Structure 1
């Protein structure tokens, strides 16, 4: 089977909720049903399940298959935080290539609110539980505030340039009915918002919420002929750089060259990018590590471009997590479903003109002083 013969046949989303009384599996089922309908496939066609969720334990991929009523020949549990959903697509593709499955439901979701997010972070892993939380590390905001300050002092990165990410993504979100935050946002609003963890302010931070996202990975001959999306290339990397607190780079730099070599094209050839946006500074670091600009030059790159759906580099065209909300680990799949929506020409009101090629990146699993996991896929309209 040729590597180019596998792709995404359909996608599904739930509405995001700031507070919910719904069960986690009700979100999974709704997103999965929507993905199947989009793929024009039946429930019985699924023989693989990849699932990513912070709230899932003590359940796992196998017990999730039981609860969803699936009998599968391949099961995958995401362990890389919000890099996991993108990694699940890479691994689903490998499973299909090796004959372990034919049609894989890749799903990601969580059902907590702001308070639940804080509780999660305090017990996220042993390094945070034993060494971060007892010392009042400030959660993710505290950690990424340090990273942004370090980037600013190392490279002269300007807050007004980072703010372009939040402001332009909000402009896209105003055309996305599923975004929780759709009010107008100016650069002055961004710069003058209340401090959360200096230098981070309110509009640098995501809103924790509940919801789920899903895609169907299968061979292109099973996908709707006019809607198929090819998986061109994809890689993941974990614990890079090693033993460095508050690094200004991530695993993307280790595989960017081979990612583009596989595809036969690079950063200047993409019609849009969907990058993991828990904070604008991490979007900036991804732009550097993935070769959209040189390391340390992202501030000028941001100043020279526009990033809304009709900008010079459409970025997180549905609004990203900064405007849609962060439904836990579903934030790592939000970028995928938005990319598929764009490549199928279904992003009504925010459709990127002639969108044919897109890049999607994930990031996650915060540990002692840094995030551990990076993942990226290149997708194109088939």
Structure 2
């Protein structure tokens, strides 16, 4: 149900998107990667760390520390602090909370940062303590990680809606083409549909190129007042609308829809827009089946019609439906929880005209979608945001 009392985000903007280039493996800590992102963020915005009075952090490998531990580690003294453990939904959640803090006067300048390291063994160690549900209900039965979980979802989706592996492959191939224009992307070689189809099996029906590549890296952006962004001569994006939902449709026997479906009217209603007015779409993409789900639940096609939608659209930067223009996680890499930030950072670049080689011509409005915290047969967290360039109507 749409709330008529929901306040918009007028006067609050998002700016200074930064990426710390990814590495396949790193001996550094998550603290190191987050510190590099914060340094790059402040330098790009022409501010000092002491100017930040708000700090938001998302990370898996920061454990046992949290955001509060980082304040001492990095020498910050914020009056507003947030730690967001929502995985792939963290970017949207960070934006929402930081924007409301600035709007309420609890903070003036909030750095939203997400980063993780990737030691040789860090992914296995992260999975071992990912959630109590996974420890008690999944791992004892052999579902030792996200590959098995998403294989379950992918198989059900294929059986229920008639999707083919080629349909998922179209997403992966188009994102690889986009990634070849992104200097930060880990994947540097072209990917053909035949190569996708011939790839070795990982967890039936998932094969190699359906899976993200864990990497080390970090992403960040600033949330601030529009008047302050103008005074600092910073390019910025308007926040048109956001939604967030957790544990949506818990009664469904297996997840085939996410929380976006519950709040889609509010997402477009607050923005005063329709799907036809979105120039760029950045979905969370740890596995292509989740991209299909988001295309449906975000209103670009009806439930079960995403395979046909993918077949009938060009998802590349120069296509008629520019999607995951950085290459997304499937080709740029998944820097842990920063996988929930990569779409937001790319969207900010797109609508401010600063995306460089991945820039979509005349992009004014972008939709960013997040999805996180998979537990066997479903992801628990979802969110989305619509942002636009400062000159968009």
TM-score, normalising length from structure 2?
0.94
Q: Does structure 1 retain, via aligned residues, the 8 Å contact 2:108–2:224?
A: yes
**Within-5 A mapping of 1:1-382:** 3-113=9-119, 115-223=121-229, 224-225=232-233, 227-382=235-390
Question: What is the SS of the residue equivalent to 1:177?
Answer: coil
Structure 2: distance between partners of 1:234 and 1:2: 9
Q: Does structure 1 retain, via aligned residues, the 8 Å contact 2:87–2:339?
A: no
Q: Does structure 1 retain, via aligned residues, the 8 Å contact 2:264–2:297?
A: yes
Which stretch shows the higher mean deviation, 214-223 or 77-86? 77-86
Shift of 1:277: 0.3
Question: What is the SS of the residue equivalent to 1:16?
Answer: strand
Structure 1: distance between partners of 2:163 and 2:8: 43
| Structure 2 residue ranges without an equivalent (≥5) | 1-6
Q: Does structure 1 retain, via aligned residues, the 8 Å contact 2:368–2:385?
A: yes
Per-residue CA deviation, residues 254-278 of structure 1 (Å, 9 max, x unaligned), is 1111010000102111111110000
| Structure 1 residue ranges without an equivalent (≥5) | none
Q: Does structure 1 retain, via aligned residues, the 8 Å contact 2:284–2:370?
A: yes
Shift of 1:349: 2.0
Which stretch shows the higher mean deviation, 97-106 or 114-123? 114-123
Structure 2: distance between partners of 1:319 and 1:114: 24
Q: Does structure 1 retain, via aligned residues, the 8 Å contact 2:59–2:337?
A: yes
Structure 2: distance between partners of 1:346 and 1:228: 10
Structure 1: distance between partners of 2:386 and 2:80: 23
Per-residue CA deviation, residues 264-305 of structure 1 (Å, 9 max, x unaligned), is 102111111110000011001000000010001111100000
Structure 1: distance between partners of 2:244 and 2:78: 24
Structure 2: distance between partners of 1:351 and 1:343: 9
Runs of 4+ in 1 over 4 A off after TM superposition: none
Structure 2: distance between partners of 1:114 and 1:327: 14
How many corresponding residue pairs?
382
Per-residue CA deviation, residues 15-47 of structure 1 (Å, 9 max, x unaligned), is 111111112222111111222233333322210
Shift of 1:243: 4.2
Q: Does structure 2 retain, via aligned residues, the 8 Å contact 1:335–1:360?
A: yes
